[in-house]
A and B are shown apart, each in its own frame.
Chain A
Amino acid sequence: EVQLVQSGAEVKKPGESLKISCKGSGYSFTSYWIGWVRQMPGKGLEWMGIIYPGDSDTRYSPSFQGQVTISADKSISTAYLQWSSLKASDTAMYYCVRGEYYYGSGSYPEYFQHWGQGTLVTVSS
């Protein structure tokens, strides 16, 4: 069974750094893109970026480029999303997702079949 298990909720102050994690299991972690999706309180879904753990190829949404860093450690089947200096506006639920291909392969996945349970990040002074 494919599972994406995320780290627990975090409460941080503005200016602090943070790294949250997403551990994949039940499949070959290095063979599927992992993405991150933000959901601000009461709002919709926003794609942040994706990483291919096999070679750490990473692509960002222009809205999040330079604001966050996505990484992966394939030795422990874990992807990460990190901030160097949090802002109150980073308060949100963050989901990791596994990318899937409609035709079974391609340059990048087209949709997201498996989702982590979400990590709630609260940034408040």
Chain B
Amino acid sequence: EIVLTQSPGTLSLSPGERATLSCRASQSVSSSYLAWYQQKPGQAPRLLIYGASSRATGIPDRFSGSGSGTDFTLTISRLEPEDFAVYYCQQYGSSPPAYTFGQGTKLEIK
């Protein structure tokens, strides 16, 4: 089973700053199989990025994803007040199907 480890656990930044969130896999993951989600308090998660770097419909271009192999990154270029939330990475493994989430990174206002 592939384990995803996200860092840091909590990231304290100010609006306008750049945020860099990391997701490291215990084994190599196909880039096609890596996604990122945002969850705000009391809400369901929202898909941000799929295929490691493709933005989901309606996601602002300040959000970008990159990486390959075991190291993936979600970058928010200029933080807006509504971006402060918890972020999860997720990978898919086939045969049998398995979906693993990272433990999350909380992005909080400094």
A residues whose Cβ falls under 8 Å from a Cβ of B: 35, 44-47, 50, 59, 61, 95, 100, 102-103, 107-113, 115-118
- Give the total of B residues in contact with A, Cβ under 8 Å: 27
| Given known A-B contacts A107-B95, A112-B47, A113-B56, A102 and B32 have beta carbons under 8 A apart | yes
- For this complex, 13 residue pairs linking A to B, each with C-beta atoms less than 8 Å apart, are A44-B88, A45-B88, A59-B97, A103-B32, A108-B92, A108-B97, A110-B51, A111-B92, A112-B35, A113-B50, A115-B44, A116-B44, A117-B44
Contacts of B33 in A (CB 8 A): 102, 110-111
A111 and B94 in contact, given A47-B99, A102-B33 (Cβ under 8 angstroms): no
**Which residues of B are in contact with A by a Cβ distance under 8 Å?**
32-33, 35, 37, 44-47, 50-51, 54, 56-57, 88, 90, 92, 94-104
Minimum C-beta distance from B97 to chain A (A): 4
Given contacts A45-B90, A108-B94, A112-B90, 9 further A-B pairs with CB under 8 A are A44-B88, A45-B37, A45-B45, A47-B98, A47-B99, A59-B96, A110-B35, A112-B37, A115-B46
Q: Contact at B50–A110, with CB atoms within 8 Å?
A: yes
